[in-house]
């Protein structure tokens, strides 16, 4: 199973960025946990992890992995609320996508309540801090194992 993991803008500053909202763990900590969980899985899982502050770069990475990835985990960060381009890229590759957020976007400012991405995702996991990523990886493995039928 090849799983593409994408982190959007400003997530490279996790640990320093508003720790009261996003916690104290760094992006390197999150990626290390993902790698550890993937390695501990009984399934053969390869993760390809990228972070970008640039919308077009995220679009390119998604498209470039159309033939490699079996599924995509993405925290689009602020682009969640603005990016038709990332949504279109995700629709184009037509792979199972899980949208991730550290915070509960519905408990925050109103402009964060709308996601352009959710409609093209099989599901959304948010509000659990860095554990959102662990839950999302577990859900993706099950989806790819066809154990979990996403409800549409």
DSSP conformational letter for 129: T
Is residue 83 within 8 A of residue 99, CB to CB? The reply is no
* Beta carbon nearer to ligand DQA, 2 or 10: 10
Spatial separation of the C-alpha atoms in residues 32 and 92, rounded to whole Å: 29
47 SS3 class? strand
Among 51, 65, 75, 83, binds ligand DQA (CB under 6 A): 75
* Beta carbon nearer to ligand DQA, 78 or 93: 78
* 80 binds ligand DQA, rule: CB under 6 A: yes
* Beta carbon nearer to ligand DQA, 65 or 80: 80
* 7 binds ligand DQA, rule: CB under 6 A: no
* 140 binds ligand DQA, rule: CB under 6 A: no
State both tokens at 18: 């508003």
Spatial separation of the C-alpha atoms in residues 59 and 121, rounded to whole Å: 15
Query: Helices 84-93 and 55-64 sit at what angle, rounded to 10 degrees?
Result: 0
State both tokens at 11: 């997530």
* 105 binds ligand DQA, rule: CB under 6 A: yes
Q: Closest distance between ligand DQA and the C-beta of residue 43, in Å?
A: 26
* 102 binds ligand DQA, rule: CB under 6 A: yes
Please give the residue ranges that form the binding site for ligand DQA (CB under 6 A): 10, 75, 77-78, 80, 101-103, 105, 112
């Amino acid at each position: 199973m090849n799983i593409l993991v994408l982190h959007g803008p400003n997530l490279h500053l996790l640990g320093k960025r508003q720790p009261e909202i996003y916690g104290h763990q760094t992006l390197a900590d999150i990626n290390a946990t993902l790698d550890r969980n993937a390695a501990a899985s009984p399934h053969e899982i390869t993760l390809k992890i990228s972070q970008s502050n640039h919308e077009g770069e995220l679009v390119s990475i998604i498209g470039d992995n159309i033939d490699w990835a079996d599924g995509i985990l993405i925290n689009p960060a602020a682009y969640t609320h603005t990016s038709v381009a990332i949504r279109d890229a995700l629709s184009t590759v037509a792979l199972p996508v899980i949208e991730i957020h550290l915070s509960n976007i519905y408990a925050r400012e109103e402009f964060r309540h709308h996601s352009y991405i959710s409609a093209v995702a099989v599901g959304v996991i948010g509000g659990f801090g860095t554990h959102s990523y662990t839950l999302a990886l577990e859900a993706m493995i099950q989806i790819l194992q066809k154990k979990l039928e996403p409800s549409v």
